[in-house]
A and B are shown apart, each in its own frame.
Chain A
C-alpha cells in the first residue's frame, strides 16, 4: 500500500502487477476511501464497539470509487 510520484511511476515499479492494476487509485480517490467514519471516527471514544456499524459506508465508498471492481470487493 504505497504512494508513488505518478501513475506512471506506480506502473513502472518492480512490484507492479498488471493483473492487480485495479489497485491503482488517484490521490483524491485514496483520500476519499479514508474519509468515511471507519477512519474518520477513530478518536470517537467508542471506536471498537461502533466499528461494525461503520463498515457499510466504507464498503459503499470502495464500491463507488472502484466502480464495483471485484479487486475491491469485501471477503465472502
Chain B
C-alpha cells in the first residue's frame, strides 16, 4: 500500500482534531503537528482545501468553516456522543455520516424540523439507525446532485 501523501496526512490531522475537540485546528496547529513553519502549515491547509472535497474556508480568511462531516460554525445539526454535545454537522445528510467518525459509539443527531420547528432526533451506531424520534424522518435537498459543487455551502 502506498504511503499517505501530504494531503492525506493534513486531512487526517484536521479530521481527528475535529473528532477530539469539536472544532477545527488553526493552520499554526497544523504546522506544529508536522514540525513545519506557520507559513508551511498555511500552505498545506490551502492545498487541502483546493483538493475538491466538500470542505471550505470562511471567505477571505485562513479559517476552516466546514470540513465534512463537521461544521466549525454552529448549525442546527447538533451531534452528541457519550452524552456530550460537542460537534456540529455540515448538513442533515452529513449528520448521518458522523457515525463513521465515532466507531463503536452511538451518535445522536438533534435538530429542529425546518417546517414546524419541533425537534427531531436520530441515533446511529456504526451505520445502523438505532432510533428515530419521531419515526418516519425524511431528508430533502432541492439542489440536483450535479449542481452541489457549484455552491457547496448553499447545497
Contact = CB atoms under 8 A, between A and B. Distances in A.
Interface of A: 1-7, 9-10, 12-17, 20, 23-31, 33-35, 39-43, 45-49, 51, 62, 70-76
B25 interface: no
A34 B94 CA distance: 7
B96 interface: yes
Nearest to A59: B145
B127 A40 contact: yes
Q: Chain B interface: which size bin?
A: 35 or more
Contacts of B115: 4-5, 9-10, 12-14
A45 B113 contact: no
Interface in B1-36: 1-2, 4-5, 7-9, 11-12, 15-16, 19
A2 B140 contact: yes
A3 B109 contact: yes
Interface of B: 1-2, 4-5, 7-9, 11-12, 15-16, 19, 48, 51, 53, 68-69, 77, 91-97, 100-101, 103, 109, 111, 113-116, 118, 120, 122, 124, 127, 129, 132, 134, 136-147, 149, 155
21 contacts: A1-B94, A1-B140, A1-B141, A6-B137, A9-B115, A17-B142, A23-B144, A27-B96, A27-B122, A30-B96, A31-B129, A34-B97, A42-B15, A42-B100, A45-B9, A47-B11, A47-B15, A49-B2, A49-B4, A71-B145, A74-B145
Given A2-B91, A43-B12, A48 B48 contact: yes
B100 A30 contact: no
